[in-house]
Each structure stands twice: as structure tokens, then as C-alpha cells.
């Protein structure tokens, strides 16, 4: 299907507004030798307020809308693809699924991970800290509950002052099997009594 110049404008405007920027149609550029190529330099802003340029393009001859985003900005790519499907999906024959609470949870987890990876790649946090922003219950398989999790803070007082987090975590991992066995055993008792 062929898009129009007005579709291109609507798409660029929606992307800018979604990222809390003003759209200025007078900033649309045309290629010098190919007057049928149009460009608009938009800006993607992630949740941590990092920004990158997104060049939205329109080819009037073929009726195609496209974009160019630098490497490492997967969250920007995902956002623009979702917007494209939302605006033009029905015309393109996509079967769009209505987003609900589960979809919002999945996208929230993905966004948190992508932002963490971006920070880690830029040396702002260690890769081991990428998951720190996640709530574990948001990452459980479907129809699963989680009774308990254990953190090193819960065993710190059992060790001498000055024991490192790494040492505490190693000890916690050593007793993890026993904690799991105890949780399963106690959990089965609770289920039997409750049901």
C-alpha cells in the first residue's frame, strides 16, 4: 500500500509528541537531487532522558515511510515500530492485539532491561546490575506464584562485620538448595491445609 505525504506528516508528528517534543512541519527536508524524498529529524527520549536522533523518511514515488536509527537503540526501534503498527496496522492488514495488563507488564520488563543494558554498555552501571530495577514477580511464568525470595541483607548479621556482598551472596547460594527444599515442603503443607 502507498502512503501519502500527509501520512508521513501524521507519523512524524505522532512520534515527536510521543517523546514530548514539538513537531515543526517547516523542518521537513527534501533531498537536493531527488525531490520525491522527504526527511524529518525527530528525537527519541528514553525513560532516563537519554536522547537520540531518528530520521523519519518518506519516498513519494514508492509511497513508503521508513526511519533510520543509530545502533544500540533497540528501545527506539521498538517504539517506532509499535507506533507504525498502531497508526497504519489496519491499512496494512496487521491484526493488532489489544494491550492489557499482561502486555503492559511484559513491555515494562523489556523496557527496564533495555535501559539497563544501554547504561551498562555506556559504563554507567555494571552488567550484573541490569536486573536490579526489575520486580521479580513481574518476571514469573504464566499462572505462577512466588512465595519468597532471599537477599543477602537477610543473612548479613550472621557474618563478621566487613564481609563483602560477594562473600555473602556466595554463602546464600550455598544454602539455596536447602531454602528451596524447605519452601517446597512448607508450601505443600500450606496447600494441603488451605484446600
Helix (H), strand (E) at residue 42: strand 37-45
Helix (H), strand (E) at residue 65: strand 64-69
Task: State the average pLDDT over residues 65-80.
Answer: 85
What lies within 8 Å, CB to CB, of 112 at 6+ separation is 133, 134
pTM of the complete model beyond 0.75: no
Cα separation of 85 and 23, whole Å?
20
Cα separation of 44 and 41, whole Å?
10
Cα angle 85, 100, 82; round to 5: 20
Q: Any idea what DSSP says for residue 140?
A: S
> For 86-145, how does the pLDDT look when each residue is reduced to its tens digit (9 = 90+)?
888 777 665 445 556 777 777 778 778 878 888 888 888 898 888 887 877 778 777 777
CA distances in angstroms from 68 to 58, 77, 179, listed in the order given: 11, 9, 50
Domain ranges of the chain: 5-92, 97-144, 147-195
Amino acid at each position: 500500500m502507498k502512503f501519502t505525504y500527509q501520512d508521513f506528516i501524521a507519523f512524524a508528528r505522532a512520534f515527536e509528541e510521543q517523546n514530548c517534543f514539538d513537531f515543526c512541519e517547516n523542518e521537513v527536508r527534501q533531498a537536493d537531487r531527488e525531490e520525491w524524498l522527504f526527511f524529518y529529524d525527530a528525537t527519541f527520549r528514553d525513560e532516563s532522558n537519554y536522547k537520540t536522533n531518528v530520521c523519519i523518511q518518506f519516498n513519494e514515488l514508492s509511497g513508503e515511510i521508513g526511519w533510520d536509527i543509530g545502533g544500540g537503540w533497540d528501545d527506539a526501534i521498538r517504539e517506532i515500530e509499535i507506533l507504525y503498527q498502531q497508526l497504519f496496522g489496519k491499512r496494512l492488514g496487521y491484526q493488532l492485539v489489544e494491550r492489557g495488563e499482561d502486555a503492559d507488564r511484559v513491555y515494562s520488563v523489556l523496557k527496564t532491561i533495555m535501559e539497563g543494558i544501554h547504561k551498562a554498555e555506556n559504563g554507567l552501571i555494571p552488567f550484573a546490575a541490569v536486573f536490579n530495577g526489575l520486580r521479580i514477580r513481574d518476571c514469573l511464568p504464566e499462572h505462577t506464584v512466588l512465595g519468597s525470595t532471599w537477599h543477602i541483607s537477610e543473612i548479613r548479621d550472621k557474618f563478621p562485620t566487613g564481609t563483602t556482598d560477594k562473600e555473602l551472596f556466595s554463602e546464600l547460594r550455598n544454602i539455596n538448595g536447602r531454602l528451596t527444599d524447605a519452601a517446597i515442603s512448607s508450601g505443600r503443607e500450606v496447600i494441603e491445609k488451605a484446600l
